[in-house]
Amino acid sequence: MKSAPDVLQPLLSHLLASGAQARHLSDQLAPVSMILVEADAWLGVARSAHALDFRWVGVWADDLRTDPTSAATFHVNACFEKTGAYLVARTTISGDHPALASHTPVYAGADRPERHVHDLLGIVFQNHPDTRRWCRHQAWSADQFPLRRDFIQADAIAPTPADHSYNFLLAQGTGVDEIPVGPVHAGIIEPGHFRFQAVGETVLRLEERLAYTHKGIEKIAQGRDAAGLARLAGRVSGDSTVAHTWAACQAMERAAGLELPKRAYHLRALLCERERIANHLGDMGAMLNDIGFAFGAMQFSRLREIWQRMSHDVFGHRFMMDCIVPGGVAHDLEPRFEASLRVQADAVREQIKRLMAIINDLPSVTDRVRGAGILQPEHARALGCLGYVGRASGHSVDVRRDAPYAPYDQLEVAVPLHHYGDVNARARVRLEEMAASFDLIEALLDDLPAGAHNTPWVAPTAECEGLGLVEGWRGEIMTYVRFGADGRLACFFPRDPSWTTWPALELLIHDNIVPDFPVCNKSVNGSYSGADL
């Protein structure tokens, strides 16, 4: 991770000059920096960070009580980043009706994350532009907040009432029609509701209603041991099981001050790059399917299938679930498989080249993806878009390069960047990312260290905290953990990159035709589950 003082000092100076009470804590979340601020300076933090061109990363809160009958006290945290230097701002608020200034008027991307915190903890973000319930739907009453320590779930759980009272923005104007889609879809995708306003086939507005996959991840995590949390993290979003587990383990290992064997870091990266390639292969096929090009869809689906079969043979699971554990990886890479991984990477790389030579020569394909679903660079930056969505619109963020962690701190990571922001650009980024991952896999195998593949887990003392930052295939994953008594988790918050890219879909579909929505949606491919804990 890059040296922070030169980047963060102007922000601290800016805060102090504005009269905010701020104290710099250098090692609370090392290697991430932290400042403590008074609650009345919370908005000033966002304004100062925005003025100095910091990116807003995420927000989460933690009920600090160990005794549910005591007065409520919360830590509220917001993370910012600039040129690879990360800063967590923390404030403390108390009371049964806690309130804090909203960051959403300054950073548009804070909208739904703040609503998530309110729905689960009851913290009111003042001057937030949208006070509608987001993640709870009708599962609990308006005065119940499931992440508070005094929340008690009834033994008998009645069916959740229909969420008929959600106030979608009303269509207005002559010839404007509403088109509701979902939450149940014809395919096997997760549930999500999309409300279109259109004139003829031209989309004027799209409004999303998500959070139909709420699993209670943050509540389930409380009281788990490290191994149990790693298994849970791998199920935040099943297609990102490797990256989410790595981020959770990295956070726990930083909290515990645990160093891993070099071989373990290399094997984790090998798993993560294979996960990246598998998902990009699948999405390339799905995008081609959504424009009716069956040949391309089947070929990329075939490549993904053989790729995942190899993952099963080598690592014991098609999605490589539960392969990463606290302290390293669950199983070592057998020497007999090293050659197989190399051969397959070379073969798939070559087949992608041949496929793209055919696809790029077809006007019927290029006509459907060029100029479709344009996300303007200024919108990508305002929302803090990550991964291939941000990179296709000129917003380049990659933790492997900008704040490198082992073993990427010893590797050259090529990060593609485009500026057109359309479906074609998002596809090009995926293809170039796969090419870079093939190179990384070769480098990881060439330099695979000998030795142990894990180290025994040693639980940290109570109140130790850690922040994990890992580049998943959708982009940066940020994971926070805090340990309570007996080495068990008191707080767990994983921020999936989909939090930043779902709002982008609402913008990029403007002025496109309704039939182009499937390919625009798949080119973004936000995780429903990852953004609904």
Residue 157's pLDDT is: 67
Say if strands 124-126 and 73-82 run parallel, antiparallel, or are unpaired: unpaired
Neighbours of 6 (CB within 10 A): 10
Among 167-171, 286-290, 417-421, which is the least confidently predicted range? 167-171
- Residue 26: pLDDT over 90: no
CATH fold group of domain 5-126: Beta Polymerase; domain 2 (3.30.460)
Among 87-91, 162-166, 193-197, which is the least confidently predicted range? 162-166
Amino acid identity at 392: A
Cα distance between residue 99 and residue 450, in whole Å: 53
- Residue 518: pLDDT over 80: yes
Chain Cα centroid distance, residue 126 = 25
In tens, the pLDDT along 337-370 reads 999 999 999 999 999 999 999 999 999 999 999 9
414 or 486, which is more confident? 414
Q: Can you tell me the mean pLDDT for 224-246? A: 97
Among 162-176, 211-225, 294-308, which is the least confidently predicted range? 162-176
461 or 430, which is more confident? 430
Give the rounded percent of residues in the chain with a pLDDT score beyond 70: 96
**What mean pLDDT value characterizes the chain?**
93
Cα distance between residue 330 and residue 203, in whole Å: 48
- The pair of structure tokens assigned to 222 is 């409380």
Q: Where does the pLDDT of residue 105 fall: very low under 50, low under 70, confident under 90, or very high at 90 and above? A: very high
Residues of the chain with CATH 1.10.645.10: 217-524
Q: Can you tell me the mean pLDDT for 6-16? A: 74
Residue 155's pLDDT is: 58
In tens, the pLDDT along 131-180 reads 999 987 888 888 889 999 888 776 556 778 877 888 898 888 889 999 99
- Residue 263: pLDDT over 90: yes
- Residue 2: pLDDT over 60: no
Cα distance between residue 459 and residue 2, in whole Å: 27
- Residue 87: pLDDT over 80: yes
- Residue 4: pLDDT over 70: no
CATH fold group of domain 217-524: Cytochrome-c3 Hydrogenase; chain B (1.10.645)
Residue 499's pLDDT is: 96
Q: Can you tell me the mean pLDDT for 446-456? A: 96
Residue 188's pLDDT is: 78
474 or 16, which is more confident? 474
Residue 156's pLDDT is: 56
Residue 225's pLDDT is: 96
Q: Can you tell me the mean pLDDT for 262-286? A: 98
- Residue 438: pLDDT over 60: yes
Measuring CA to CA, how many Å separate 387 from each of 50, 108, 219, 525? Answer: 21, 18, 28, 11
Q: Give residues with Cβ within 8 angstroms of 149, minimum separation 6.
A: 63, 65, 66, 67, 68, 72
Cα angle value 257/473/189 (rounded, 5°): 120
Cα distance between residue 395 and residue 17, in whole Å: 30
Residue 163's pLDDT is: 79
Q: Where does the pLDDT of residue 30 fall: very low under 50, low under 70, confident under 90, or very high at 90 and above? A: confident
Residues of the chain with CATH 3.30.460.80: 5-126
- For 83-233, strand residue ranges (E) read 85-94, 99-101, 124-126, 176-181, 193-199, 202-209
Q: Which of these, 185, 209, 206, 184, lies nearest to 197 by C-alpha position?
A: 206
Q: Where does the pLDDT of residue 460 fall: very low under 50, low under 70, confident under 90, or very high at 90 and above? A: very high
Amino acid identity at 461: T
In tens, the pLDDT along 37-46 reads 999 989 999 9
